[in-house]
């Protein structure tokens, strides 16, 4: 009972400290909310539409103009300008005005009519990977369509029905199913991991700050004394208000993703609530671990920063884990965000039974094993070390 | 002037982070995506289709499943990421001149899996369609068949990043972010530390009684010089080291990097005025790196960034730095082609320079210490 009272007293002290400093309000409430709104409103469209593109139509017949009108009508592409030649279109691309252009050489219509198979081409600025590949998709579809239209017209003239014509033109057809994200929504693909990732980064940093600022301000002894120098009680009391705040922020994040933006949630909300709590806990554990590793606010913060920022690429939500070199594949196990992402994929995205995620859940829980090994060290640091300017 | 914490941000992070990123994205793209096949046709034609898809570099057929349930289970256990379903009537339809549909499924935990299976299978189907048609029109030449399939042929040319590689796409942007963010953190830490020491009467402001403009010039020159060296490593040596595309003319790159680094220096000094103490500054600014990378328009296109966030992104040198550098180094843009970015960086240099001066005048001139 005494222990519980001590914890509560420390938690109350911590709450007062948090409320008296703008840093906590900024990093635990304002910064995450700003980041959440940034990503969700940035990619609100899902797929970027009306990407600026250009055309070089050296043929300039009614047929080619028709092709260009059709291309402009595609959702992802917006023809903003006609260029007189290849060189000026390329220049516009280098100036960042367009992401792609369509090139129709002189004589295209003439050659097509006489069955001599002219070649049109399209170019994308592949350095900008996403708009480049979307413009590619539209232009390819357009080209297939233009070519198919000519082919179908020829066959219809010969008395083929539509089905027969399609069977001749395209005997084997591919039908693609993007399971659980049929519109290829980029926000679903990115925000689901980036938002929790930002929480993870801030959790580690704030936890480290809140622990070692006591050393810096020489209040560490006072803090530990409130727990009879028991580091476990002292930490529980200190981290409790943070756990509560972060849990609320985590729930708000889930509300934005699955309530407001209605991203796929095939598992129901509870597995994701669990996932979020696991991430918050694993991040706190890592924060305490870095404190136990180095007796210095700045070094512990630097380690957390490096680890936190590296979490984003190594969790594999954008560039897949499958293509990593073997060492980094193994290293990825040590990042809570990697496990959060895998649980999210199994649960919210694919709606699998919870037991599919047991290994990741177990590892997330096991992150507390890291700081527990160093608690004695941390106690010693807090009682005996001083902040170095 | 220098302490170990600042050395970490000025030297160690710029040195090591690009190496880590380049190593991570070394493969540029995902190859040999594990894929399962459900072949209900069991025909020579379907086996031929699967064999050819397997032969492409992007897809690796790891297993033939009896039914969809078994295939799905493999995907759920992450043994495979894509599924190719060939219907029972596949060969029969083709033989009897009916269009047949092969269904492709991709796990959407990564968009590159989707790309891999779709492009491989489409490629194989186009090739096989051509052969099927050759059989349909006996005696036709290859050219005639091709003209029949494609009265208008097309070709696709991905420009500049010809492999559509991930490292080529992301690393240049990350390099520019590293320059700005490490500088902001290092300068902010120094300013916070000094302010703290003065507040605690550990030290006097080291420039007491000096002319604020002299202090500003001195400090900014030192940071600028360090970062010229850092930048040479990041924007010249790293791309060479990892075989990233680098078609810049050095004069163009130099003329662009000078205002970028200068804008970053004054931006960092201006921001450092709000550094209350050394550590809180790190926490407040590290997380911003992620939104700023996206605000630059390297991933989600800048043409589709809402105007409010666009305005926000214009406050940061990185937005213009990323776009200018990518176009100069990968797309061979000249200085005139990046005029817009260049102007913006010079405006930032002068605006943040003026703010820096005011900050110094106020804090040092009147010895106002928060």
User: Which is more confident, B281 or B325?
Assistant: B325
Interchain CB contact of A365 with B (< 8 Å): no
Choose the mutation target among B81, B146, B148, B150 for the interface with A, i.e. most A CBs under 10 Å.
B150
pLDDT-based confidence at residue B291 (cuts at 50, 70, 90) = very high
Cβ proximity of B237 and B150 under 8 Å: no
B283 contacts A206? CB cut-off 8 A: yes
B13 contacts A129? CB cut-off 8 A: no
User: Which is more confident, A292 or B25?
Assistant: A292
Q: At what angle do helices B13-24 and A297-314 cross, to 10 degrees?
A: 20
Interchain CB contact of B27 with A (< 8 Å): yes
Residue of A nearest to B131 (CA): A171
pLDDT-based confidence at residue B27 (cuts at 50, 70, 90) = confident
Over the stretch B301-337, which tens digit does the pLDDT of each residue have?
888 899 999 999 999 999 999 999 999 988 888 899 9
User: How far is residue B100 from each of residues A178, B59, B85, measured CA to CA in Å?
Assistant: 20, 22, 12
Residue A206: closest CA among A369, A367, A32, A10 = A32
Residue ranges of B 43-82 with Cβ closer than 8 A to chain A: 49, 76-77, 81
Residue of A nearest to B244 (CA): A127
* Structure tokens belonging to residue A349: 């995205």
pLDDT tens sequence for chain A (389 residues): 788 999 999 999 999 999 988 899 999 999 999 999 999 999 888 888 888 989 999 988 888 888 888 888 877 888 889 999 999 999 999 998 999 898 988 988 888 877 788 888 888 888 888 888 888 888 887 787 777 777 777 778 778 888 887 777 788 888 888 888 888 888 898 999 999 999 999 999 999 999 999 988 889 899 999 989 999 999 999 999 999 999 999 999 999 999 999 999 999 999 999 999 999 999 999 999 999 999 888 889 989 998 999 999 999 888 888 888 889 999 999 999 999 999 999 999 999 999 999 999 999 999 989 999 999 999 999 888 777 66
Place of tokens 């100069």: B328
Q: Which positions in chain B touch A112 (Cβ < 8 Å)?
A: 151-152
Fold held by B33-149:
abc type-2 transporter like fold (3.40.1710)
Instruction: Parse chain B into domains and list their residue ranges.
Output: 4-24+165-365, 33-149
A130 → closest Cβ in B112, B299, B337: B299
pLDDT at B369 over 50: no
Residue A82: closest CA among A63, A64, A109 = A64
Our CA dihedral for B299, B300, B305, B308, rounded to 10 degrees, sits at -60
* Closest chain B C-alpha to A213 CA, distance in angstroms: 9
Interchain CB contact of A117 with B (< 8 Å): yes
pLDDT at B111 over 70: yes
Cβ proximity of B288 and B188 under 8 Å: no
Place of tokens 């898809």: B53
Residue A265: closest CA among A341, A342, A346, A191 = A346
Reported residue count of chain B is 370
Q: pTM of this prediction?
A: 0.91
B303 → closest Cβ in A51, A189, A325: A51
pLDDT-based confidence at residue B13 (cuts at 50, 70, 90) = confident
Q: Which CATH architecture has domain A51-169?
A: 3-Layer(aba) Sandwich (3.40)
Q: Is the dihedral of CA A176, A180, A186, A190 positive or negative?
A: negative
pLDDT at B368 over 50: no
Q: Which positions in chain B touch A214 (Cβ < 8 Å)?
A: none
User: Which is more confident, B366 or A134?
Assistant: A134
* Closest chain A C-alpha to B210 CA, distance in angstroms: 24
B94 contacts A42? CB cut-off 8 A: no
Q: Which positions in chain B touch A133 (Cβ < 8 Å)?
A: 115, 164
Our CA dihedral for A335, A336, A340, A343, rounded to 10 degrees, sits at 80
User: Which is more confident, A15 or B366?
Assistant: A15
């Amino acid at each position: 009972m005494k222990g519980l009272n001590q914890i509560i007293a420390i938690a109350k002290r911590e709450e007062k400290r948090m409320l008296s400093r703008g840093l906590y309000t900024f990093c635990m409430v304002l910064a995450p909310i700003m980041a959440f709104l940034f990503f969700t409103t940035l990619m609100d469209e899902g797929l970027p539409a009306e990407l600026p593109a250009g055309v070089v139509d050296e043929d300039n017949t009614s047929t080619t103009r028709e092709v260009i009108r059709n291309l402009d009508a595609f959702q992802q592409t917006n023809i903003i300008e006609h260029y007189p030649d290849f060189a000026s279109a390329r220049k516009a691309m280098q100036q960042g005005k367009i992401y792609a252009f369509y090139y129709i050489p002189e004589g295209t219509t003439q050659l097509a009519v006489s069955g001599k198979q002219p070649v049109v081409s399209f170019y994308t600025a592949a350095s900008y990977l996403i708009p480049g590949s979307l413009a590619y998709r539209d232009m390819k579809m357009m080209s297939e369509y233009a070519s198919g239209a000519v082919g179908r017209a020829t066959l219809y003239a010969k008395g083929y029905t539509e089905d027969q014509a399609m069977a001749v033109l395209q005997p084997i057809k591919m039908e693609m199913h993007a399971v659980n994200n049929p519109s290829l929504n980029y926000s679903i693909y990115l925000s689901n991991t980036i938002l929790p990732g930002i929480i993870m980064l801030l959790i580690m940093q704030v936890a480290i700050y809140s622990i070692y600022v006591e050393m810096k301000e020489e209040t560490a002894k006072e803090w530990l004394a409130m727990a009879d120098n028991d580091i476990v009680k002292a930490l529980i009391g200190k981290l409790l208000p943070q756990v509560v705040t972060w849990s609320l922020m985590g729930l708000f994040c889930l509300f934005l993703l699955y309530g407001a933006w209605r991203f796929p949630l095939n598992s129901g909300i509870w597995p994701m609530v669990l996932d979020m709590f696991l991430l918050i806990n694993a991040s706190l554990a890592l924060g305490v671990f870095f404190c136990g590793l180095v007796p210095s606010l700045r070094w512990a913060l630097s380690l957390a920063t490096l680890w936190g920022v590296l979490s984003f690429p190594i969790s594999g939500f954008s560039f897949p884990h499958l293509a990593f070199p073997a060492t980094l594949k193994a290293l990825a196990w040590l990042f809570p965000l990697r496990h959060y992402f895998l649980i999210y994929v199994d649960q919210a995205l694919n709606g699998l039974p919870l037991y599919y995620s047991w290994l990741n859940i177990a590892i997330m829980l096991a992150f507390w094993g890291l700081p527990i090994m160093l608690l004695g060290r941390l106690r010693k640091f807090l009682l005996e070390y001083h902040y170095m300017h | 002037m220098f302490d170990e914490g600042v050395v970490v941000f000025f030297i160690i992070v710029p040195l090591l982070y690009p190496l880590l990123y380049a190593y991570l994205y070394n493969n540029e793209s995902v190859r040999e995506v594990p894929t399962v096949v459900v072949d209900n046709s069991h025909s020579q034609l379907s086996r031929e289709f699967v064999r050819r898809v397997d032969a492409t570099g992007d897809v690796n057929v790891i297993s033939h499943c009896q039914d969809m349930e078994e295939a799905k289970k493999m995907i759920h256990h992450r043994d495979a990421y894509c599924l190719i379903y060939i219907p029972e009537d596949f060969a029969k339809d083709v033989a009897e001149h009916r269009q047949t549909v092969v269904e492709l499924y991709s796990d959407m935990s990564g968009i590159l899996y989707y790309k891999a299976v779709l492009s491989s299978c489409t490629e194989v189907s186009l090739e096989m369609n051509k052969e099927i048609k050759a059989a349909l029109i006996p005696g036709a030449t290859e050219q005639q068949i091709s003209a029949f399939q494609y009265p208008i042929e097309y070709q696709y040319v991905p420009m500049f990043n010809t492999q559509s590689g991930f490292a080529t796409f992301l690393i240049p942007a990350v390099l520019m972010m590293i320059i700005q963010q490490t500088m902001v953190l290092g300068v902010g830490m120094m300013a916070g530390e000094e302010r703290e020491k003065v507040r605690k009467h550990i030290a006097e402001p080291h420039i007491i009684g000096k002319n604020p403009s002299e202090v500003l010039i001195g400090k900014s020159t030192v940071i600028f010089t360090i970062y010229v060296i850092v930048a040479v490593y990041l924007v010249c040596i790293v791309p060479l080291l990892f075989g990233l595309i680098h078609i810049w003319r050095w004069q163009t790159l130099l003329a662009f990097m000078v205002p970028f680094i200068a804008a970053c220096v004054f931006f960092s000094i201006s921001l450092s005025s709000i550094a209350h103490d050394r550590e809180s500054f790190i926490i407040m600014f590290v997380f911003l790196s992620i939104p700023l990378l996206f605000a630059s328009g390297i991933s989600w296109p800048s043409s589709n960034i809402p105007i409010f966030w666009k305005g926000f992104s214009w406050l940061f040198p990185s937005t213009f730095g990323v776009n200018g550098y990518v176009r100069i180094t990968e797309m061979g843009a000249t200085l005139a082609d990046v005029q817009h970015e260049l102007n913006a960086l010079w405006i930032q240099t002068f605006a943040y320079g003026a703010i820096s001066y005011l900050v110094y005048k106020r804090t040092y001139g009147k010895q106002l210490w928060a």
